[in-house]
Amino acid sequence: MSDFLQQTLDHPAVWAADELLARDDWEHEFASADWPKIQDALENGSGAALIRGFPVDGFSKDEARTDFLNLCRKIGTPISQNENGDEIFDVSDAGLRSDDPRTRGPNTKKKLSFHTDRCDVIAFLCWRQAKSGGENELVSSMALFNEIQQRRTDLLEVLMQPFVYKRHSVDLGNDAAFCKQPIFSFRDGHFAASFLRVLIDRAGADPELPDLTAEQIEAMDFLESVTAEPEMHLRFRQEPGDILLLNNWVSLHRRSAFEDHETEADKRCLFRIWLSMPNSRPLDPQFAANFGAVEAGAIRGGMRAKKFRSNSI
């Protein structure tokens, strides 16, 4: 670990704020998109791509959802996002109470914190945008690693140690109450970042799980303060027909709060797909409990489908 603490990362996925906009692998037109090239750039390039012009006008919501899922199957393998095995999730305000166990950040109007999802690549298609707000914000986790290394190497060391994650409230097919994994890690020279603070905080608040140390809290607070700096993250707004693809191992993302339209047909909705990629990197073995596999190119991530018992004799 000590070697990596002194290593400044030099990779195409190291970018800050608007620098991403100048990359030739960032913005594409759907009609002329070179998907194998985009697939390669997600793993070996900037790790982020915006594809404009996916046809949504003249199509029903169900048709657009199906077409998007079929497109994503050409890029990677869609994986389950809940206990039912659903491969596509509607990111929209569900109007649930804050204490409803089905509530998760994506189905609210609130601002989300910077995080990663449980997959190699996350894909969003904008179907309808909010009346106001709902902007995307992205940050390079490799650039974040470099910044923390320069400012607080002591906290970087903490972030490379395992944190306890409590099982997600909607991860009903998972028998394990918790797992442990680092926020920053390396395997065979490949970098990987993974961070979902809400599950770390829930674990810390659980009396049956280990308490968070003062150093762990300080390290996460510092990480989040750096991601929030305007010089670090890119802010933009997806419009209907825009597809956003992000490599979760080299980027973090969040969404601003939004005000929605009043009519149901106009309400903000994005389709989200989690992809396991055939050209993915190897991961630290500590990710096996949460992702299921850690070898390069392996099918991994997502949530296990719940096993229902049959009442038949």
The SS3 assignment for 186 reads strand
Q: What is the pLDDT of residues 180-236, one digit of tens each?
A: 999 999 999 999 999 999 999 999 999 999 999 999 999 999 999 999 999 999 999
Give the integer Cα–Cα distance in Å for 273 and 79: 8
E strand segments, the chain: 27-29, 48-52, 77-78, 89-91, 121-128, 132-133, 136-140, 163-166, 178-181, 184-187, 190-193, 233-236, 243-247, 251-255, 258-259, 269-276
Between CA 83 and CA 99 the distance in angstroms is 19
What is the distance of C-alpha 200 from the center of its chain? 16
CA distance 105 to 24: 32
CATH architecture of 2-277: 4-Layer Sandwich (3.60)
Q: 100-104, 284-288, 302-306 — which is least confidently predicted?
A: 100-104
Q: What is the pLDDT of residue 46?
A: 98
Q: Give the torsion sign (CA, 298, 299, 303, 306).
A: negative
Q: Which one is predicted more confidently, 96 or 92?
A: 92
Residue range 165-188: average pLDDT? 89
Q: What is the pLDDT of residue 310?
A: 41
Q: Which helix (H) or strand (E) holds 226?
A: helix 214-227
Q: Is the pLDDT of residue 311 over 50?
A: no
Query: What are the C-alpha distances in Å from 159 to residues 137, 153, 221?
Result: 22, 10, 11
Question: C-alpha angle 156/162/167, rounded to 5°?
Answer: 130
Give the three-state DSSP class for 199: helix
Q: What is the largest CA-CA distance in the chain?
A: 64
Give tens-digit pLDDT for 131-159.
999 999 999 999 999 999 999 999 999 99
C-alpha distance from residue 144 to each of 16, 24, 106, 152, 223 (Å) = 9, 22, 24, 12, 8
Q: Which pair of tokens denotes residue 166?
A: 């409590």
Looking up tokens 């991860």, which residue turns up? 171
Q: How far is CA 143 from the centre of its chain?
A: 17
Could you tell me which of 274, 249, 232 has the C-alpha nearest to residue 184? Answer: 249
